[in-house]
Amino acid sequence: MSAPPATHACPQALLEAAWELLARGVHARRSPARYPALATVAEGGGATARVVVLRGADRAAARLTLHTDAASAKAGEIAAEPRGALLFRDPGSALQLRCAVRLALRPETAEEWRRVPSAARSVYGGKPAPGRPLDDPATHSPGPDPARFAVVEALVEQIDALHLGRERHLRARFLRREGFGGRRLCP
């Protein structure tokens, strides 16, 4: 836990730090921000979460991007309830970001598929589908299947940013509907 940079004392500086962390998550393979938790409402009700890989962070559009297998459980969960969350924790900068998002699946573009390294393509596709029973591993036929590769767009509705400084904890909330102007919250 680092001492809080003086700039974090104002909510807007916390928002700058948030988008810097998200950008590092997209580009730095070892950044903890590359592996957020995606929370969704489970098929039978209640909440569930899994680790995902952050593929894009567009501040102007306030949109985060993930990839998924269209046959995975989360694809169905997103279709049934698009309101979810992406949670980031960066121990190095003592920053936690809770992003309330509206999720949507869309087919990938040919360019997006081209950019997936060939070694990584096999995780999209395969039979049986992810999460299905596999009593005999020999019966699993892997991908790739471009038709199963889908892009998850997460429109950021709110960022709840928490900086756990040694001296004090700072927390602020930024709402899309308020143009992401910040409001300080009790930590």
Q: How far is the CB of 154 from a copy of itself (least distance, A)?
A: 12
Among 39, 55, 37, which residue's Cα sits nearest to residue 47? 39
How many residues in total does the chain contain? 187
Q: How far is the CB of 118 from a copy of itself (least distance, A)?
A: 16
Q: How far is the CB of 152 from a copy of itself (least distance, A)?
A: 14
Contact residues toward a copy of itself (CB under 8 A) are 35, 37, 39-42, 45-51, 81-85, 87, 89, 91, 96, 98, 100, 123, 126, 128-135, 137, 140, 160, 169, 171, 183-187
**Tokens read off for 35:** 């592996």
Tell me, what amino acid is at 121?
R
Residues 37 and 18: beta-carbon distance below 8 Å: no
**Tokens read off for 92:** 């190095």
Q: What is the CA 49 to chain-centroid distance, rounded?
A: 11
Distance CA 136, CA 163 (A): 47
Q: How far is the CB of 111 from a copy of itself (least distance, A)?
A: 27
Distance CA 48, CA 108 (A): 25
Grouping H, G, I as helix, E, B as strand and the rest as coil, residue 55 is: coil
Q: How far is the CB of 131 from a copy of itself (least distance, A)?
A: 6
